[in-house]
Structure 1
Amino acid sequence: MPEQHPTSPVRIAGRRLRAPLASVAAVSALVTLAACSAPGSGSDSDAAANPTPTAVNTAVADTPAELTLFSAAGLQTYEQGLADAFMAKYPKIKVKLRVEADNNYNTVLPRLLASDSTPDLVQPYDLLGGVKDNLLTNLDAYDKAYGWSSKVPASALAPGRVSNGAVGGGPLYQAGGSAGPLVGVFYNKELAAKVGMKKVPGSIPDLEAVMAKAKKSGITPIVASNQDGLIGHLYNLLLGDYMGAERLSDIVYHQPGANLDTPEAVKATETLQKWIKAGYFASDVNALNQEASYGKFTGGKGLFFFQGSWITQALDKNFKGKYGVFPMPPATQDGPYAGMTSNTLAFSIAARSKNKDAAALFLDFLTTPEAAKVAVDNGYAALTSGTAAPGKPSLSGTLTEQIQAGYAAIAADNGFDSWLQNAAPALNTKLTQQLQLLVSGKVEPAAMVETLQTTYADALKSS
């Protein structure tokens, strides 16, 4: 699995479909929603154990209720913050957390969802299994009532859609706002100044020009660890750029006909190989692990670090204020942004919940600036609808502002995708092996892509 933010569960991200522009939460104003149906329609008691409610009630804010949110321990502080903010806005509805150890969460959840004491709000890792077993609520009626599809980027909602045993399209089973880590290009400010990088590169060729200047100046352009295959962050970003986020996500989602062995994937692999042959990585990159790469970057041993914003917790210990971040540039000037993320503001409602309407109000609350602020305060980027377009990524501003701007740029292009290795455990292992072979010059791009596709196809057959 890819390295993740310590408090973020691994989950797959969305497809590149057009949707209204989302913008940064910090400057947003609250969007007030009117009730879409009369009180009393679609009562919670009628909805209990019904996985596909059709009559729903949005006028529940003044009706006393108690919701249970099933939380993994690593997310407890964050999700308690969401619960507190929701109760401050809707004091008649109480939200209580039921906390489970991180390593038990995925094991315990299916049993709870099938019980009479099911929690109302959950974040299932196995969304397909939950839908297949009728343990989760089809949220389409609530989506229509609250207008989530018009307020949240389509690529942020896509991983909550399930149809015919595949994720990415069809009815909605997981919804909320849009928040998560930014995977992008971290840079050493001092070294960036030395090579004359005065603005965010606007394309892959622009990025290559900066790296060429760094190499000529005796500066290693890219810090990475590949003992653990974490060059995979960069490789996934390149795949998203050249294939497009939707096609990359289709592979992770197991969409019928999805295929990695394409000219675009080969082009992405050739680009990475070109950077390897140009000496843009340290010669010992295959021997470096994650912790060592952190030390290299904070020690000034390289200009760029392709990573996720979860690393700020580690870097800030002795490098705060000395680095910044921008989103991976598009393949071509003015092309679409793409990048991997995991939506921490997405939740499902248990099919056996007796408080579906109140739980749906909580999901709607997750699209507001109040919820986005909680996400930002907990180290995530977060977006909400209803405000002006965000500023373009730049080298100015605080680190938090740069993370927000990068996330917003990807959201504006509906460019959220996922890590290729999330498609199958076997692919995770094979990708690390192939990246090590690519670095050592023992595999060519076309052969590497073919091997990865074969591994993927075999995994699907055996699943």
Structure 2
Amino acid sequence: MRRLRALGATAAIVAVASVSACAGPGGEAPATDASPTNVRTDVGEQEATVTLFTAAGLEDYQQALADAFMKKHPAITVELQVEADNNYNTVLPRLLASDSPPDLALVGDLSGAVRDGLVTNLDAYDAAYGWSEKVPASVLDAGRVQGGEIGSGSLYVGGGAAGPLAGVFYNRDLAEKVGMTKIPQTLDEWEAVMATAKSMGITPIVASNADGLIGHLYNLLLGDYMGAQSVLDVAWRKPGASLDTTEATEATARLQKWADAGYFNTDANAINQDASYGRFAAGEGLFMVQGTWMTQSLPKSFDGKYGVFPIPPVEAGGPPISMTANTLAFSIAARSDHKDSAALFLDFLTSPEAAAVATDNGYPAANATDQDPLTLDADVESQVQAGYAAVTASDGFFTWIQNSVPAVNTDLPAQLQLLISGKAEPEDVVEHLQKSYQSGL
């Protein structure tokens, strides 16, 4: 897997079935129309220049997407407008409100952009191109906004589905040593492997919690117990959504149980992400729960010596789940002069050609072809793609609860540190996070 800076940049920035012919006469949709209905799909041979606003860390990846699109539609030029990663979210709203906005951009504060009329309602394009039939709902719904709430209503983000996959990494040599011959099918099976590793003097899970990154495992457990949609409801601030549930408490208790059993390195609260990467690559632990962005940080000498699979479900046959952030999705500026051409680019992002560019740049994609089965002995690139495909099929993608309100993002690391050090009970952690969530709302 190519170790490109794009994976890290994504985290820094973020957060009708058939293709119709011409929907009506005329040229491009008017630049001032934020909710076009008279859209065209037959613009592939009309000359146009479409600008795509991107962060520097994603430049190589998005240039490759632009090149692939222009190869298919040579009449349309896609030009990148590149901004430093740390300035991207600050600069974007001003650009979208200007008289010369970029046509396409990855919008961080989508709800605010819709409220301020900065992005185009894509419902007519969705109907014309059939995006709702091509893209998993758990991915596409992240681009829907209604009444300021994300997750339902009109579509403001279009494109395909690709992005990092959060899951369970394992050391192949240690897995063989403890007798793990197949991917665990339930949390109980996975826990049994951990118990065997612990009994053999092998640290089951290398964790870094000085920076709160045991939170990846915690979010996955929440997804397992609560269900992906319930976690999304919290992250998207749906009315009535709550973390203070029996299922959330059970997920928290599971994490506490593993901490009490010594399944994490004893200094988990004292080390950070980089240190944990080094320990995992040095063979100091069987598992590590992270996102596939980790592959760019592991030493090349460790290539071929590790694999990854989605976290097992609570019950056998349960749906595979994972957190992700979409890298094949963009909004069209409300003031864009080339909405139809920009929408054609968004439709291209749902294609196997775009998926191939994503996978070449280290991102698994929903429309990738030639997927190998998810097995313990497959190479890691195949495992990443197969795991992403499995979560796509189950519609099991969600996002981190830290993305719900700033207070949860701030409080979660401290609460998890208290939990795994035995200074807080699961009920207390869940109650505290719910209060933080409620105050943030």
| TM-score when normalising by structure 1 | 0.91
Structure 2 residue corresponding to 1:425, chosen from 406, 417, 430: 406
State how many pairs are aligned.
435
Is the 2:164–2:291 contact (alpha carbons within 8 Å) kept by the matching residues of 1? yes
Is the 1:86–1:362 contact (alpha carbons within 8 Å) kept by the matching residues of 2? yes
Structure 1 stretch displaced more, 4-13 or 407-416: 4-13
Structure 2 residue corresponding to 1:120, chosen from 103, 115, 120: 103
Q: CA deviation at 1:396?
A: 2.2
Aligned to 1:36: 21
Q: CA deviation at 1:392?
A: 4.4
Task: Note the alpha carbon deviations across 1:104-141, whole angstroms, 9 max, x for none.
Answer: 11111111111111110111111011100111000010
Q: CA deviation at 1:7?
A: 2.6
Aligned to 2:227: 244
> Higher RCO, 1 or 2 (CA under 8 Å, sep at least 6)?
1
Aligned to 2:312: 329
Task: Note the alpha carbon deviations across 1:162-201, whole angstroms, 9 max, x for none.
Answer: 0111111111000100000010000000000001111111
Aligned to 2:7: 5
Q: CA deviation at 1:34?
A: 4.9
RMSD: 1.6
Q: Secondary structure of 2:232's match?
A: helix
Q: Secondary structure of 1:307's match?
A: strand
Q: Given residue 411 of structure 2, which amino acid in structure 1 is its aligned partner?
A: K
Judged with a 3 Å threshold, the aligned counterparts in structure 2 of structure 1 residues 155 and 133 are, in CA distance, closer, same or farther, namely: same
Q: CA deviation at 1:279?
A: 0.8
Aligned to 2:112: 129
Q: Secondary structure of 2:7's match?
A: coil
Q: Is 1:412 the equivalent of 2:412? A: no
Moved over 3 A (4+): 9-13
Q: CA deviation at 1:42?
A: 5.2
Structure 1 stretch displaced more, 327-336 or 315-324: 315-324
| Structure 2: distance between partners of 1:34 and 1:140 | 14
| Structure 2: distance between partners of 1:411 and 1:113 | 32
Aligned to 2:3: none
| Structure 2: distance between partners of 1:196 and 1:34 | 50
Q: Given residue 84 of structure 1, which amino acid in structure 2 is its aligned partner?
A: D
| Structure 2: distance between partners of 1:35 and 1:333 | 42
Which ranges in structure 2 are unaligned for 5 or more consecutive residues? 1-5
Q: Secondary structure of 1:191's match?
A: helix
Structure 2 residue corresponding to 1:184, chosen from 135, 159, 167: 167
Aligned to 2:64: 81
Judged with a 3 Å threshold, the aligned counterparts in structure 2 of structure 1 residues 42 and 141 are, in CA distance, closer, same or farther, namely: farther
Aligned to 1:175: 158
**Identity score, percent:** 60
Q: Secondary structure of 1:384's match?
A: coil
Q: Given residue 442 of structure 1, which amino acid in structure 2 is its aligned partner?
A: K
| Structure 2: distance between partners of 1:12 and 1:239 | 21
Q: Given residue 305 of structure 1, which amino acid in structure 2 is its aligned partner?
A: M
| Structure 1: distance between partners of 2:186 and 2:19 | 43
Task: Note the alpha carbon deviations across 1:142-165, whole angstroms, 9 max, x for none.
Answer: 001000110111111111010111
Structure 2 residue corresponding to 1:450, chosen from 420, 431, 437: 431
Q: Given residue 454 of structure 1, which amino acid in structure 2 is its aligned partner?
A: K
Is the 1:179–1:344 contact (alpha carbons within 8 Å) kept by the matching residues of 2? yes
Structure 1 residue corresponding to 2:253, chosen from 235, 248, 270: 270
Structure 2 residue corresponding to 1:49, chosen from 23, 26, 32: 32
| Structure 1: distance between partners of 2:228 and 2:433 | 18
Is the 2:9–2:85 contact (alpha carbons within 8 Å) kept by the matching residues of 1? no
Q: CA deviation at 1:439?
A: 1.1
Q: Secondary structure of 1:456's match?
A: helix
Aligned to 1:221: 204
| Superposed counterparts of 1:37-436, under 5 Å | 37=22, 41=25, 43-44=27-28, 46-384=29-367, 392-436=373-417
Q: Secondary structure of 1:374's match?
A: helix
Q: CA deviation at 1:316?
A: 3.7
Q: Given residue 242 of structure 1, which amino acid in structure 2 is its aligned partner?
A: Y
Is the 1:222–1:302 contact (alpha carbons within 8 Å) kept by the matching residues of 2? yes
Q: Secondary structure of 2:10's match?
A: coil
Which ranges in structure 1 are unaligned for 5 or more consecutive residues? 14-19, 21-32
Q: Secondary structure of 1:221's match?
A: coil
Q: Given residue 313 of structure 1, which amino acid in structure 2 is its aligned partner?
A: Q
Task: Note the alpha carbon deviations across 1:79-118, whole angstroms, 9 max, x for none.
Answer: 0000000000000001001111111111111111111111
Q: Secondary structure of 1:47's match?
A: coil
| Structure 1: distance between partners of 2:387 and 2:102 | 35
Q: CA deviation at 1:435?
A: 0.4
Q: Secondary structure of 1:184's match?
A: strand
Q: Secondary structure of 2:183's match?
A: coil
Q: Secondary structure of 1:383's match?
A: coil
| TM-score when normalising by structure 2 | 0.96
Is the 2:169–2:306 contact (alpha carbons within 8 Å) kept by the matching residues of 1? yes
Q: CA deviation at 1:11?
A: 6.9
Q: CA deviation at 1:10?
A: 5.0
Q: Given residue 256 of structure 2, which amino acid in structure 1 is its aligned partner?
A: Q
Q: Secondary structure of 2:69's match?
A: helix
| Structure 2: distance between partners of 1:423 and 1:392 | 34
Q: Given residue 100 of structure 2, which amino acid in structure 1 is its aligned partner?
A: S
Is the 2:277–2:298 contact (alpha carbons within 8 Å) kept by the matching residues of 1? yes
